Structure 1
Amino acid sequence: MDFSLTDTQRMLRDTATRLIRERYGFESRAKILASPEGISRDMWATFAELGLLGVEIPEEFGGIGGTFQDLAIVLEAFGRGMVVEPFLPTVVLGAGLLRAAGSEAQKSQWLPRVIDGTAFLAFAHGEPRSRYSLTHVTTTAQGDAQGYTLQGTKAVVLGGDSAHLLIVSARTAGAQDAQDGLSLFLVERDTPGVKIRGYPNVDGTRAAEVTLENVRVPRAALLGPEGGAFPFIQQAIDRGIAALCAEAVGNMEALNEVTLDYLKTRTQFGVPIGSFQVLQHRMVDMFIAHEQARSMAILAADRADSTDASARTQAISAAKVQIGWSGRLIGQQAIQLHGGIGTTIEYSAGHYFKRLTTIDRTFGDADFHLTRFANISSPPSAR
């Protein structure tokens, strides 16, 4: 694997890093969180102006036509700033599903709007009792000659309260937990029968509960093949996990820097506490954990668009496990080394730890993915 950056990747890294450093500091983020929407539409417009929303979108629709590795570089920079705007739900999940499963008409309608920042997307798949299962879908879509009627409830829809378009999974056939019979639909937020209740997550990002009551959509709203959406859903979630891994690496790096700076400036017994060997050893452990996480995040980004579902899922789960372990170690040690100040809302360390904790729980925690990795790795006879 070639770890050197291309000219495009260096440009993306420099652009995103400079933007976060100059315009998305901790104080700026706090003001965004205190706003009514909890996001900054002005900042989103800046992302669009810099081309960051169209990194992976093909050139024919106005995008850059890059790879997931290109996108991961932007996500790592966003992790340093703990960006709360719905980049993951819109650019990674929503636009990714449209690219993979959409018709030319659907892509032409929505992908340019993603690029220019005029449309937020959200993937409404999880349900109240689904836990981390991708096949547990009770939302139904009854078809007729004119279209479909959707009924059901979706839980923890990332970016759902700001989304102009929901990509909703529903069962058109099959048993409740079957892979077959799952379909995807494009549902605009102002469609009659759609109810959205938004709320902030513990880390400052936003999600929503979405209720669908006799929601009518035309046949043109079907995204991909009827009853054959599971492979697209599985890859979308794998890509989402790979994106979270890249973001977590940036988050860990920033938290390590904040902690190291604190050790250099906080004095005890007349000397900086960073001169104490036992604290130096802790800091070394944190840096090692970050490098381990970075290595696995690179692997996840490399495999995110693989058509080999088994190999892709195995690599993604391995990365998610390491990200969970590293995030917990770095977060806990950072709070310990900071002492009381590390838990205050006015200081950044606790916010980084909250984001790492949320990342660990999103799309399956470390324990879940360790089990999934073991099940994929071992032959059926050994299970």
Structure 2
Amino acid sequence: MSDENLACTPAQWERIISRYADPTRSNSPAGRVAGLLRDDARASDLVREWIEDQAMRCMAKGQTVTPTLLTMICKRCSKEAILHRELGVSVKLLRAGAAYEKRLAEYRNDHASAHPSRPVRERLWDEAVDAHIHGQMERGVSSLVFLPYHDGRNSRPGSSNLLACGGLPEWEALFGAKRRRFAPLEDVDEDHDPALMDHTGGMPFEVTAEWLERHGITPAMLNRLTDTELAVLGVDVRSARLESAGGVLDGVAGRLDLILDDPRASQALAAGRPMLGAVEILHSLGMGMGMIRAGMRLGRWSRAGDVHDPGMLRAAWDRIPGRGGTYDEYLRAVSDILDKAHAPRIARR
């Protein structure tokens, strides 16, 4: 695959995917996944990764990914496939759980009860499973899928066996009551809120490595403070984040760092191009789209398995479909981008 298989501009690519990977839109794929994971940022990343993987598969087969095709891929984004891959959850348990969650929400609306009792939840689960089976029958489905009851029993008539996926206890262990981690709203820039900045009494203080060392402040200490808290203290948020860049990055900087493997350079590039996404930034600096997608995929794989061996990374790169170049070409492209960002050159993996 080469960039000839891609008929989307970086801006179109980012705009289309961002719409479906937006967890604040309840009917978006990311919104549905976030409703179960209770983690907006993670849900957004998972949906984006799934869409990008599917698009890369299309390009590897010689298909040209146009804005229309990319939109079609986004629309068929599978919540079941994403959660199955991420958590290893049985599809049967996912379907039963999704039906249960819908019925549970209806019950809460009708009874103004945020925490129904265990017997009520068990009854709602079984009712949801029965309704799912009846729905299949009404639609004339030839091969019925029998889901687990609340105790894991097979809902197939006459069957008494337990399904390995379990039922309500297993579901609640995975997706039970957790505080939802909301993604920050992009249109509310807390770092530069005038109401907060009025309390700082002048220009924000710029953090340097020397100042941190002199006062015994570690990157971990900085990372415990939110951007809002830093701003209220009169600290320049960008300089603080650059000095604490040894931590885990998210958002545009996090996606850049999957490829650059240099937190400070990733944050600097993201901050210097606030209107662009990670793909657009990398493409504007000379990296091809196929190589960008393959690089992000390699970065996720490397971090998930804590793999840093150069031979293993090279072998993994060679297995990625539509990678847009050799591994050596990829490393050279990364090095060129770091040079342009005036950052230390990346250590060859």
Same structural fold, with TM-score higher than 0.5 when normalized by the shorter chain: no
TM-score of the superposition, structure 1-length normalised?
0.27
TM-score of the superposition, structure 2-length normalised?
0.29
**Greater Rg, structure 1 or structure 2?**
2
Structure having the higher strand fraction is 1
